[in-house]
Amino acid sequence: MSVKNRKFRGVLLMAVMALVLSMLAGCGGNNNASSGNAPAASTGSSAAPEASMAPAADPIPVKLQLKWVPQAQFAGYYVALSKGYFKDEGLDVQILPGGPDIVPEQQVAGGSADIGVDWVASLLTSQEQEMPLVQIAQIYQKSGLVLVSKKSANINSPADLKGKRVGNWMGGNEFELLALFDKYKIDSNKDVKFTKQGFTMDQFLGGELDAASAMTYNEYQVVLESGVKAEDLNVIDMNDEGVAMLEDNLFANKEWLEANKETAAKFVRASLKGWKDAIADPAAAVDIVMEQAEAGSTTKEHQLKMMEEVAKLIQPEGFDISKLGYTDEAAFKQTADIAFKFGVIKKEANLSEAYTNEIMDMASK
């Protein structure tokens, strides 16, 4: 065979091999795509189906620590969870129930929860103890705390509390009463028997307490449900006495918040949507709460009354519901001033560090 023919056949063989390798590469690319490996860039109609099959981002976990067990006091969060409002925001929210031995500020400061619910006075004392916490939303606009006594105890005004057995749950719930005592020059250690109250009204109904702490939406209703008539009771309202403090809020760990502002805003936005639904349809909200409440621990009727009373605290007469969640500077300052004046906190609160409306601004967009 001539050199010329050998060269021609060599070139031909190389061309055939190149063609075969090209075909194999094409088949290999298709196999890689079907097995989940990254395919080569493609064009045409195949691009759209691949884009639609892209996995969604994993939901961001958020833990909410409540100050007490599941009840209508926290209905907005359960409604938001049940209706998928948190999920719509890309969040995987876990609602942690509270209890007599759980202090939400400690849970959030320690990292066991991301966001907590408690009263502003309790938050202020925790901040003074240098816990890295900041308020991000204010839910309740009025105080629901009252002191209830039977008329037979002759407690017709706060001054009559001297010498009486007065109960409170303590653990951060007692500050409004301490302010009340101080206002009337009552020494909580000498002039009254200030007693830790259980989370039922048994001590009061059984005569162990002359005056008991009660929330308008919970314990006060329990007393009425027990058969005691309203006309047989005296009630001291913290709002009327000028020592009312802002109650249920939302607060977060500062370090967590700094890295998760968008997540916090999404959580607040979904929560407020849940609260507005709960206020608009209390019965439906209670149905959702009852799914979370411990069996036999409460009744639907009690929770419905609680929801109706809670709504009055969240949206008092004349309150613009569009402002729900924002911390009003004057109201917060009043709470902080009362706390300082009556010894709840030892130094004046730094309002610029105690709360922020930045998250609410983000949530409102």
In tens, the pLDDT along 142-173 reads: 999 999 999 999 999 999 999 999 999 997 78
| pLDDT band with cut points at 50, 70 and 90 for residue 56 | low
pLDDT at 71: 96
Which pLDDT does position 46 carry in this prediction?
38
Residues 6+ positions from 2 with CB-CB distance below 8 Å = none
pLDDT in tens, 191-230: 999 999 998 999 999 999 999 999 999 999 999 999 999 9
Q: Which two tokens stand for residue 189?
A: 């250690």
- The pLDDT of 104-118, averaged and rounded, is 97
Asked if residue 51 has pLDDT above 60, the reply is no
pLDDT band of 299, cuts 50, 70, 90: very high
The answer on pLDDT for 114 being more than 80 is: yes
Query: Average model confidence (pLDDT) for the chain?
Result: 87
What pLDDT does 29 receive?
A: 39
Burial tier of 33 (Cβ tally within 10 Å: 0-12, 13-18, 19+) = middle
How far is Cα 338 from Cα 241, in angstroms, rounded to an integer? Answer: 12
Specify the higher pLDDT residue, 96 or 50: 96
Cβ contacts of 66 within 8 Å, gap of 6 or more: 74, 77, 95, 96, 97, 98, 104, 117
Indicate the pTM of the whole model. 0.77
The pLDDT confidence band at residue 343, using thresholds 50, 70 and 90, is confident
**Residue 55 banded pLDDT, cuts 50, 70, 90:** low
| Mean pLDDT to the nearest integer, 282-311 | 96
With tokens 């320690």, the residue in question is 110
Residue that is written with structure tokens 């938050």 in the block: 123
What mean pLDDT comes out for the span 21-34?
Answer: 40
Residues in contact with 8: Cβ distance below 8 Å, sequence separation at least 6, in sequence order:
none
Given a cut of 60, is residue 188 above it in pLDDT?
A: yes
Rounded (10°) CA dihedral 239, 241, 246, 248: -60
Binned at pLDDT 50, 70 and 90, residue 175 comes out as: confident
